[in-house]
């Protein structure tokens, strides 16, 4: 699918026209209105989870289909052993025995990863390694997952990254949400286990554990576009196969699969009770690479699925929420164009202004900071001053998208006919500052006694 190419050309023309219009007419109403709308919409999604949900979703904690866990890995010698041990220790049993298998798909690793996996296979009967070699025809995470899918036997397919630490009841909680046959996928709550490493990893804990968590809860409650993530996703095998597996021409296979499920009538649920932990990116350079890759995939999804979603037979709110979610990737571009319009006007001795009332802009800005502060307080209850500092850090942190989005478009052109698995490097605990062992201290209690009795 190359519709993103024509879409990008149209977008460049629209951006150019916006700059010209801003300079000629000396007004930026479109920027004002766009910022206000997205700010209020995002704030509303953060507020919704703070109110009790009236209608509980259909779920069954005793639902026990067989699960295949897929872990794509390439050169993960620093993290793969801890991940495998954590995943194999999950408490998902039937008739007293583990009711899941673990497939690690080794994508031609050149470090110690294959030898570590060979040793672990002797220890864990449910573990299998699928080895891909250097002459593989297709690279990328999607291709790796599809190869694992071909060897998997489960009715449910779970996907974890190679740096994951997972709570023991993760499968019990998430699989329960798949009891409803209309649910094609479930996403767990992602947290950061190296948040104490530096200020950058700390703000990523807020990004994932607070804001992404609350937004997903809000979308789930309102029946919006709850999205699958690259780590901690579960899918019904029948729904996954109906979508043709993971799209091997996508760098954001999770969003791509979410949209494909939406178009085929499946819903995706969010299970905030099921928690997994991953490693945050510790440097700005690595973070920018990661966000450029995400932007590249987002752009392609926007142009590949925008019109099918707009004209598809999808519930109205879910349709518009999906479109707004896709449009978010363009917001930094519009902001850059607006700043360019203002700068050009100033150099020309003119002023660019908005005719919309100023109180609307200030109200939206106040709502963003207030709701962000409330979200942080609701999730972790830090001292007042500390929570204010975290809000400011998070606001500044998001400016990285002003650089990542334009470079994401550049990457689309560079990777015109190829997919590059520009995966995040995982350093492992040995490279982190000394800290407590997260997997044991942060696990929630085992399932309730009745469920435990059923397992045995």
Residues 242-294 have pLDDT tens digits of 999 999 888 889 999 999 999 999 999 999 999 999 999 999 999 999 999 88
Task: State residue 454's pLDDT score.
Answer: 41
Average pLDDT over residues 38-46: 78
Task: State residue 71's pLDDT score.
Answer: 97
pLDDT at 432 exceeding the cut of 50: no
Q: If pLDDT is split at 50, 70 and 90, which confidence band does 433 have? A: very low
Task: State residue 446's pLDDT score.
Answer: 35
Task: State residue 450's pLDDT score.
Answer: 40
pLDDT tens for 103-147 read: 999 998 889 999 999 999 999 999 999 988 866 666 788 999 999
pLDDT at 163 exceeding the cut of 80: yes
pLDDT at 378 exceeding the cut of 70: yes
Which of 214-218, 231-235, 297-301, 430-434 shows the lowest per-residue confidence on average (mean pLDDT)? 430-434
Q: What is the pTM of this model?
A: 0.84
Percent of the chain with pLDDT over 90: 40
pLDDT at 445 exceeding the cut of 70: no
Task: State residue 310's pLDDT score.
Answer: 86
Q: If pLDDT is split at 50, 70 and 90, which confidence band does 97 have? A: very high
Report the first-to-last Cα separation within the chain, whole angstroms.
Answer: 49
More confident residue, 48 or 266: 266
The span from the CA of 444 to the CA of 206, in Å, is 20
pLDDT tens for 337-356 read: 666 655 655 555 555 556 66
Q: If pLDDT is split at 50, 70 and 90, which confidence band does 449 have? A: very low
Task: State residue 385's pLDDT score.
Answer: 85
Across 16-20, 89-93, 133-137, 408-412, the highest mean pLDDT is recorded for 89-93
pLDDT tens for 310-322 read: 888 999 889 989 9
| Protein fold of 1-456 | Spore Coat Polysaccharide Biosynthesis Protein SpsA; Chain A (3.90.550)
Average pLDDT, the chain: 81
More confident residue, 412 or 6: 412
pLDDT at 46 exceeding the cut of 90: no
Task: State residue 114's pLDDT score.
Answer: 93
Task: State residue 278's pLDDT score.
Answer: 94
């Amino acid at each position: 699918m190359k519709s993103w190419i024509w879409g990008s050309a149209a977008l460049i023309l629209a951006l150019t026209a916006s700059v010209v219009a801003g300079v000629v007419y000396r007004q930026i109403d479109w920027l004002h209105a766009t910022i206000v709308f997205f700010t209020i919409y995002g704030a509303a999604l953060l507020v919704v989870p703070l109110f009790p949900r009236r209608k509980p979703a259909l779920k069954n904690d005793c639902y026990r289909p067989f699960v295949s866990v897929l872990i794509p890995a390439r050169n993960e010698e620093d993290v793969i052993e801890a991940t495998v041990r954590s995943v194999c220790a999950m408490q998902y049993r039937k008739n007293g025995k583990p009711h899941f298998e673990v497939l690690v798909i080794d994508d031609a690793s050149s470090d110690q990863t294959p030898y570590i996996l060979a040793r672990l296979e002797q220890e864990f009967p449910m573990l299998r390694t699928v080895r891909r070699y250097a002459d593989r025809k297709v690279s990328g995470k999607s291709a790796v997952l599809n190869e694992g899918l071909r060897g998997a036997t489960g009715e449910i397919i779970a996907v974890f990254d190679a740096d994951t630490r997972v709570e023991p009841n993760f499968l019990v909680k998430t699989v329960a949400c798949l009891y409803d046959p209309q649910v094609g996928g479930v996403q767990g709550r992602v947290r950061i286990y190296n948040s104490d490493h530096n200020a950058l990893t700390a703000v990523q804990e807020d990004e994932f554990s607070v804001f992404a968590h609350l937004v997903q809860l809000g979308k789930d409650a309102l029946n919006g576009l709850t999205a699958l993530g690259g780590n901690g996703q579960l899918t019904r095998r029948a729904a996954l196969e109906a979508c043709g597996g993971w799209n091997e021409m996508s760098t954001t296979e999770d969003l791509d699969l979410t949209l494909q499920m939406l178009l085929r009538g499946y819903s995706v649920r969010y299970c905030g009770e099921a928690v997994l932990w991953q490693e945050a990116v510790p440097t700005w350079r690595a973070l920018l690479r990661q966000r450029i890759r995400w932007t590249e995939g987002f752009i392609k999804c926007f142009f590949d699925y925008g019109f099918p979603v707009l004209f598809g037979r999808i519930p109205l709110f879910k349709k518009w929420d999906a479109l707004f979610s896709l449009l978010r990737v363009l917001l930094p571009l519009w902001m850059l164009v607006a700043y360019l319009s203002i700068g050009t006007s100033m150099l020309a001795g003119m002023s660019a202004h908005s005719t919309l009332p100023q109180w609307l802009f200030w109200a939206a800005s106040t709502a963003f900071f207030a709701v962000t502060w409330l979200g942080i307080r609701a999730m972790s209850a830090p001292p007042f001053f500390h929570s204010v500092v975290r809000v400011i850090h998070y606001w500044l942190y998001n400016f990285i998208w002003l650089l990542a989005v334009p470079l994401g478009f550049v990457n689309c052109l560079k990777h015109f006919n190829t997919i590059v698995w520009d995966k995040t490097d995982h350093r492992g605990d040995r490279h982190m500052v000394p800290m407590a062992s997260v997997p044991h201290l942060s696990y929630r209690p085992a399932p309730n006694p009745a469920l435990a009795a059923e397992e045995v």
